[in-house]
A and B are shown apart, each in its own frame.
Chain A
Amino acid sequence: EAGVAQSPRYKIIEKRQSVAFWCNPISGHATLYWYQQILGQGPKLLIQFQNNGVVDDSQLPKDRFSAERLKGVDSTLKIQPAKLEDSAVYLCASSLPSDSPLHFGNGTRLTVT
């Protein structure tokens, strides 16, 4: 089966600029997650979707981060404006609703200068 697809793989921007990441989950996976992984730390959940509805966005910095999953398939995560501390790998994962192991994409490595 095809895995979780993410793009771009790398992105370098200056602080205060905007950036967007894209994720295409495994076909049939209703649950989609965005994680942030800062260097030296484990992944931290930013937002969880079930189909096109938000299940949990309690750790999403909503003043600058937004995410959507309009048709219940692809998702985009946006940061506007970016800060230096947003430098991290942004991971997308998907799962079946009743099957909790997550399948991860390769991630997007964001560097904010």
Chain B
Amino acid sequence: AQSVSQHNHHVILSEAASLELGCNYSYGGTVNLFWYVQYPGQHLQLLLKYFSGDPLVKGIKGFEAEFIKSKFSFNLRKPSVQWSDTAEYFCAVNGGNDYKLSFGAGTTVTVRA
């Protein structure tokens, strides 16, 4: 089974600051990688996903993530955050044809106006 580690539990930023959230996974085979976001009071939503191809993937709302296979990492980035990016962010992984997702513990991001 895969395990997912998110480096930061809580990140506090000011608007316009850059954001990078770390995610590492443990699985030796082919993986599918995801970032989900949960805004306050809302359900989990898919932010972006990586299945294959270009390791730099772009998602909604200006987010991007880079898959580095040699480091087993899939870090999430946004060059300039907004107050509305305040949310909890979850990295998730499934392996090959196993659609069962393993989630990290989540990172709470608070953006100060």
Residues of A within 8 A of B (CB): 3-4, 31, 40-45, 48, 56, 91, 93, 95, 100-107
Contact = CB atoms under 8 A, between A and B. Distances in A.
Nearest to A42: B103
Chain A interface, DSSP helix/strand/loop, else mixed = strand
Q: Chain B, interface size: which category?
A: 20 to 34
A3 B43 contact: yes
Contacts, number: 47
Interface of B: 4, 32, 34, 36, 42-46, 49, 90, 92, 94, 99-101, 103-106
Contact of B104 (A42, A45, A104, A107): A42
29 contacts: A3-B43, A31-B99, A40-B105, A40-B106, A41-B106, A42-B4, A42-B90, A42-B92, A42-B104, A42-B105, A43-B44, A43-B101, A48-B99, A48-B100, A56-B100, A91-B43, A91-B44, A93-B44, A100-B32, A100-B94, A100-B101, A101-B46, A101-B49, A102-B46, A104-B36, A104-B43, A104-B44, A106-B42, A107-B43
